[in-house]
Amino acid sequence: MSRMLINGILRDKPVTADGQFQRMPSAFRSWIEASPGAAFPAVSGRYHLYLSKACPWCHSVDLMLTFKGLRDAVSITWMDPVMSEDGWVIDQPGFEETAGVPRDRYLYEVYQRAAPDFTGPITVPLLLDKQSGRIVSTESASILQMLNTAFAGAGATGPDLYPGALSDEISRLTAMIHAPVCNGVYRAGFATAQPAYDEAVTRLFAALDEIEAVLEQRRYLAGEEITGIDLKLFATLVRFDPVYVTHFKTDRKRIADYAALSRYLCDIGGLPGVRETIDLPHIRAHYFQSHRHINPAGIISIGPDSPFAEMPAPQGAA
């Protein structure tokens, strides 16, 4: 049984009657802005991220930090690979003392301190304002957008990964991948009824076939230049064959069975700084040992060959 906060108290999350996994919406959706008069102004060193090397939503944020050159501008606390019954556990050996960031044991403690009456899921990524102690956002898509634009005058480098000229196409592609693929793997894996699983996995592979057709014509999803939507898809694809095929029963095909998707995965994986964001042993330990309702013994499967399997653990990872 997964846990959530209800009026600031840790409780069991209700189970849906139809067996479908439903991701609860993010409650914190404030915005960092370049204006000095903003509630959350773009200031290097002011903000802190709680991230997991296992989580694909966090991985896309980590990639954005890499592409925008913001690793020194935003501090990070990492999660242990294996979750507890009370949710995400903070990596204690890897914890780096940072002003405005107490040493908690569990992520839910961060929520309780920042929003004592909060009701909702205990999720990463979490973007914290160290100055006020308030949570800025827990919505990965918003965090990606903020990191892409808000810090232009506060140390950010690299290209605009959400160019205005491609906004309509990026929105179309987001609809193509977000619900059926990025969230779809979880809807398949966490389904507790056959119809719910069948619906999720059918939509998943229909979307992958559609994306394969796009990538047969383009280097990246939106064209010849990488954009933010690629960061989201890449994070899911990295985990697909090593984890989701077995653990989430998404075994109709592997990414290795798709020529264009395989090329795309290796292409992005070869870009500067990308491989350093991938800790495959950490990822596999998280999924196979955290979800005991799927894998009661916590046995980690042997897994397939992967171009990322031999990567050393990135600095700061458990």
Structure-block tokens of residue 112 = 């309780």
Query: Is the separation of the CB atoms in 42 and 151 below 8 Å?
Result: yes
- pTM above 0.85? yes
Structure-block tokens of residue 311 = 């990567």
CATH number of 164-290: 1.20.1050.10
Tell me the residue type at 300: I
Tell me the C-alpha distance between 213 and 217, whole Å: 7
Confidence of residue 309 (pLDDT cuts 50, 70, 90): confident
List pLDDT tens digits, range 70-105. Answer: 999 999 999 999 999 999 999 999 999 998 899 999
154 Cβ contact partners less than 8 Å away, ≥ 6 residues apart: 34, 42, 43, 44, 73
266 is catalytic: no
Domain boundaries defined on the chain: 164-290
Catalytic residue among 47, 55, 58, 106: 55
Tokens 């894998």, residue located: 295
Three-state DSSP class for 141?
Answer: helix
58 is catalytic: no
Tell me the residue type at 112: Q
% of the chain beyond a pLDDT of 90: 86
User: Is residue 318 predicted with pLDDT exceeding 60?
Assistant: no
Give the pLDDT of residue 14: 75
